[in-house]
């Protein structure tokens, strides 16, 4: 066995070949820097079953006309938001033909395909992808400046002028670098997903789409009383059905995620969509959810953190966007790293360009805008009271009670609000938060 070999040295090491890492590696490689892209899985995406709906707009910059080659399942041409109670379902449904043609908007994709493709692009641009290799720690010079990583391979030390940690949620590297304050479970949600096989034509009929058109349904309520949200989306010949649940509540309610998914699938509003399908796979994963509230310091001497590793995932109960934030933050981290390498200063100060880029773009702007969204969407009122109030209101509006004349909407609303035990001022404040977030 070769021993005592000179440790390999490159300009940059990117840890993790997820969307963030591959985007970062691509940028650096294109600028002519030597990059090693480390992935612990046997191939990029092999450990990644999550993230079915991606919004790749950001790729226009990195891979123009990406839609001609990206391994997508269906283009999202229809988005619905469902509010569920035990017996009722209110759906706000939007479809746009524009989303079914270039430049497209969102798409469903299998992560093993997507990550594999994106990493392949990085390789094609000259990045050196090394799979089945786990970064086990950071190498530092006496001054604490990060100068590389250790890996689980024999003679596995790697030296570099800058390291970009894209190692996903709970980033081991960012923590080791002390970039995180202490985080509590309240900041995490657990995402659970089932992939269910159905023939393509059945999916097309049930969801009213054809060819490559697809549907993304976000669900409020229907999570068995555990604060969270649900989703259903269409791949070519499978459906993804999942829930995103607040960890503390889950623990408190002593319910198992599978049980909650099963209940969701049994809901009269969902059952007809998933009936008769064969479960192909089941996966669960934690998501950093509190957004801004828990983001770490983005840079240290010789180190940058991007994607989920930096809690960049936007998970506000029914919103679940991470891949796009990951790819963007990866790109920006790499651009900053490139500048720093050029200026020969990879200290935290030299890497400051990263945070600037994040602040000036959708990455942190969206997070700031939606700052209150998670706590609002996951609040007990929104979770448990509003669905009933809204659904009952609508039910009464559409119900025909002849000979009793139709009641006015205001009256129904008021009665339902009282019945739901809501105070006007709460309603007002939530509405205000909602406006600031989504308005």
> Shortest distance, CB of residue 409 to ligand FAD, whole angstroms?
35
> Shortest distance, CB of residue 286 to another protein, whole angstroms?
9
Q: Of 122-161, which residues contact ligand FAD (CB under 6 A)? A: 134-135
Residue positions counted in the chain: 439
Strand partners, 193: 242, 283
- 294: phi > 0 → left, psi -120 to 50 → alpha, else beta; which? alpha
Question: Which one of the spans 78-86, 252-260, 318-326, 345-353 is the region binding ligand FAD (CB under 6 A)?
Answer: 318-326
What track of x and - describes contact with another protein for positions 13 through 42 (by CB under 8 A)?
Answer: -----------------------------x
What track of x and - describes contact with ligand FAD for positions 238 through 267 (by CB under 6 A)?
Answer: ----x-------------------------
For residue 92, report the phi and psi dihedrals to the nearest 5 degrees.
-100, 120
Is the peptide bond prior to 103 cis by the omega test (within 30 degrees of 0)? yes
Binds another protein by CB under 8 A, chosen from 31, 285, 357, 367: 285
Q: Does 153 bind another protein (CB under 8 A)?
A: yes
Question: Which one of the spans 80-88, 320-328, 334-342, 421-429 is the region binding ligand FAD (CB under 6 A)?
Answer: 320-328
Q: Does 199 bind another protein (CB under 8 A)?
A: no
- Token pair for 242: 């999942």
C-alpha–C-alpha distance, residues 271 and 154, integer Å: 52
Q: Is 318 exposed, middle or buried (0-12, 13-18, 19+ CB in 10 A)?
A: buried
C-alpha–C-alpha distance, residues 311 and 181, integer Å: 12
Q: Which does 280 bind (CB under 5 to 8 A by kind): ligand FAD, another protein, none?
A: another protein
User: In 35-110, which residue ranges form alpha helices assigned H by DSSP?
Assistant: 59-62
> Shortest distance, CB of residue 15 to ligand FAD, whole angstroms?
5
Question: Which one of the spans 16-24, 67-75, 378-386, 424-432 is the region binding ligand FAD (CB under 6 A)?
Answer: 16-24
Q: Does 39 bind ligand FAD (CB under 6 A)?
A: yes
Q: Which does 143 bind (CB under 5 to 8 A by kind): another protein, ligand FAD, none?
A: none
**Contact (CB, 8 A) for 146 and 302:** yes
Q: Does 13 bind ligand FAD (CB under 6 A)?
A: no
Q: Does 326 bind ligand FAD (CB under 6 A)?
A: yes
Strands 8-15 and 158-165: parallel
C-alpha–C-alpha distance, residues 403 and 401, integer Å: 6
Nearer to another protein, 8 or 361 (CB): 8
Q: Does 272 bind another protein (CB under 8 A)?
A: no
Q: Of 48-87, which residues contact ligand FAD (CB under 6 A)? A: 48, 50-54
Q: How many CB atoms lie within 10 A of CB 406?
A: 12
> Shortest distance, CB of residue 118 to another protein, whole angstroms?
14
- Token pair for 369: 């805008």
CA 14 to chain CA centroid, nearest Å: 20
Q: Which residues contact 304 (CB under 8 A, 6 or more apart)?
A: 162, 163, 164, 165, 298, 333, 336, 337, 351, 354
What track of x and - describes contact with another protein for positions 371 through 410 (by CB under 8 A)?
Answer: ----------------------------------------
Instruction: Specify the DSSP element, H or E, that contains 363.
Output: helix 362-369
- Token pair for 69: 């080659």
Q: Does 283 bind another protein (CB under 8 A)?
A: yes
Nearer to ligand FAD, 229 or 350 (CB): 229
Q: Of 42-61, which residues contact another protein (CB under 8 A)? A: 42-43, 46
C-alpha–C-alpha distance, residues 264 and 271, integer Å: 8
Nearer to ligand FAD, 191 or 353 (CB): 191
Nearer to ligand FAD, 50 or 332 (CB): 50
Q: Which residues contact 51 (CB under 8 A, 6 or more apart)?
A: 19, 111, 114, 322, 323
**Contact (CB, 8 A) for 330 and 23:** yes
Nearer to another protein, 260 or 385 (CB): 260
Binds another protein by CB under 8 A, chosen from 89, 186, 236, 284: 284
- Token pair for 76: 């999202």
Q: Does 277 bind ligand FAD (CB under 6 A)?
A: no
- Token pair for 257: 């995620």
**Contact positions toward ligand FAD, by CB under 6 A?**
15-21, 38-41, 44, 47-48, 50-54, 134-135, 166-168, 172, 191, 193, 242, 285, 287, 307-309, 313, 320-324, 326
**Contact positions toward another protein, by CB under 8 A?**
1-3, 5-8, 42-43, 46, 112, 116, 128, 130, 133, 151-158, 192, 256-259, 261-262, 278-285
């Amino acid at each position: 066995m070769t021993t005592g070999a000179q440790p390999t040295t490159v300009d940059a090491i990117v840890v993790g070949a997820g969307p963030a890492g591959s985007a970062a590696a691509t940028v650096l490689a294109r600028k002519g820097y030597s990059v090693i892209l480390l992935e612990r899985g046997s191939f990029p995406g092999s450990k990644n079953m999550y993230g079915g709906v991606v919004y790749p707009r950001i790729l226009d910059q990195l891979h123009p006309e990406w839609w001609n080659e990206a391994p997508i399942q269906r283009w999202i041409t229809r988005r619905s938001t469902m509010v569920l109670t035990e017996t009722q379902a209110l759906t706000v449904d939007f479809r746009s033909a524009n989303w079914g043609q270039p430049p497209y908007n969102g798409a469903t994709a299998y992560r093993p395909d997507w990550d594999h493709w994106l990493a392949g692009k990085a390789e094609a641009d000259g990045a050196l992808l090394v799979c089945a290799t786990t970064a086990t720690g950071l190498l530092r010079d006496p001054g604490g400046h990060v100068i590389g990583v250790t890996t689980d391979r024999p003679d596995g030390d790697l030296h570099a002028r800058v390291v970009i940690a894209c190692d996903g949620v709970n980033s081991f590297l960012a923590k080791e670098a002390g970039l995180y304050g202490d985080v509590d479970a309240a900041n995490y949600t657990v995402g659970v997903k089932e992939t269910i096989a159905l023939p393509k034509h059945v999916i097309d009929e049930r969801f009213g789409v054809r060819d490559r058109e697809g549907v993304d349904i976000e669900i409020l309520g229907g999570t068995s009383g555990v604060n969270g949200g649900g989703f259903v989306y269409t791949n070519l010949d499978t459906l993804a059905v999942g829930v995103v649940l607040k960890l503390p509540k889950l623990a408190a309610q002593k319910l198992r995620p599978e049980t909650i998914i099963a209940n969701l699938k049994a809901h009269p509003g969902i059952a007809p969509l998933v009936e008769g399908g064969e479960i192909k796979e089941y996966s669960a994963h934690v998501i950093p959810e509190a957004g801004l509230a828990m983001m770490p310091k983005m840079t240290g001497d010789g180190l940058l953190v991007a994607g989920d590793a930096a809690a960049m995932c936007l998970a506000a109960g029914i919103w679940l966007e991470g891949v796009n934030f990951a790819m963007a933050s990866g790109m920006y981290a790499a651009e900053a790293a490139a500048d720093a390498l050029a200026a020969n200063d990879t200290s935290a100060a030299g890497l400051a360009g990263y945070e600037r880029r994040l602040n000036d773009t959708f990455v942190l702007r969206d997070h700031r805008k939606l700052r209150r969204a998670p706590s609002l969407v996951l609040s007990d009122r929104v979770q448990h009271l509003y669905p009933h109030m809204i659904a009952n209101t609508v039910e009464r509006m559409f119900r025909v009670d002849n000979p009793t004349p139709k009641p006015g909407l205001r009256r129904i609303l008021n009665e339902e609000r009282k019945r739901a035990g809501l105070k006007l001022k709460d309603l007002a404040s939530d509405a205000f938060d909602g406006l600031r977030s989504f308005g």
